[in-house]
């Protein structure tokens, strides 16, 4: 079954004689029974009959200037700086610049903000670090023989395992 969309896509090829015999016959039989596609054929015939106009002189330069004005924000006709061609910024450069700005700006902003919560209490970094390490479990091996919070029992002897089982009851 040939649909209207399929036929309308093939109309320029149909008019130009670029379809094979089977394709030409399918389009021709569809056009005989479909008024919409027949009207579309007339539009394509009218468009093909109009000779193309020559491109106005300077159109390309005017279009490029208008695009530059839109993208760069300069009015059309304004001086544009010379563009370096061949040198490109690596993609990671923007991320590195953002990280550097964050690393430099964070201490400055923290200093300008003053004490936390508006109080005059000084925060001891060692105390905060100790508090965090006490409350948060370590994902690595700890002194208690755990990995990610689960006990590691591989290195325990049979006597130590029996003692552990007795303590758990």
Q: What residues contact 166, with CB distance under 8 A and at least 6 apart?
A: none
pLDDT at 90: 74
Predicted pLDDT at 144: 56
Reply yes or no on whether the pLDDT at 139 is more than 60: no
- Summarised one tens digit per residue, pLDDT across range 97-117 is 888 888 888 887 777 776 655
Q: Cα–Cα distance between 58 and 64 in angstroms, integer? A: 10
Please report the pLDDT score of residue 42 as a whole number: 92
User: How many Cα atoms are found within 13 Å in the side-chain-facing hemisphere of 34?
Assistant: 19
Q: Does the pLDDT of residue 120 top 70, yes or no?
A: no
Bridge partners for 151 per DSSP? 146
Q: Which of 19-28, 70-79, 101-110, 129-138 has the highest mean pLDDT?
A: 19-28
Q: What is the mean pLDDT of residues 128-152?
A: 58
Per-residue pLDDT reduced to its tens digit, 26-51: 999 999 999 999 999 999 998 888 88
- The model's confidence at residue 2, banded by pLDDT at 50, 70 and 90, is confident
pTM of the model: 0.34
Residues pairing with 147 in the sheet: 150
């Amino acid at each position: 079954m040939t649909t209207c969309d399929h036929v309308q896509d093939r109309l320029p090829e149909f008019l130009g004689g670029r379809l094979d015999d089977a394709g030409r016959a399918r389009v021709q039989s569809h056009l005989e029974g479909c008024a919409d596609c027949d009207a579309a054929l007339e539009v394509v015939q009218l468009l093909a009959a109009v000779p193309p106009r020559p491109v106005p002189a300077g159109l390309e330069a005017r279009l490029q200037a208008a695009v530059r004005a839109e993208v760069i924000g300069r009015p059309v006709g304004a001086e544009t700086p010379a563009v370096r061609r061949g040198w490109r910024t690596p993609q990671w450069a923007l991320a590195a610049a953002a990280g550097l700005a964050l690393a430099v700006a964070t201490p400055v902003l923290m200093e300008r903000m003053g004490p936390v919560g508006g109080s005059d209490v000084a925060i001891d970094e060692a105390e905060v670090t100790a508090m965090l390490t006490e409350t948060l479990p370590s994902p690595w091996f700890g002194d208690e023989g755990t990995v990610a919070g689960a006990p590691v029992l591989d290195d325990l002897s049979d006597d130590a395992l029996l003692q552990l089982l007795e303590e758990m009851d």
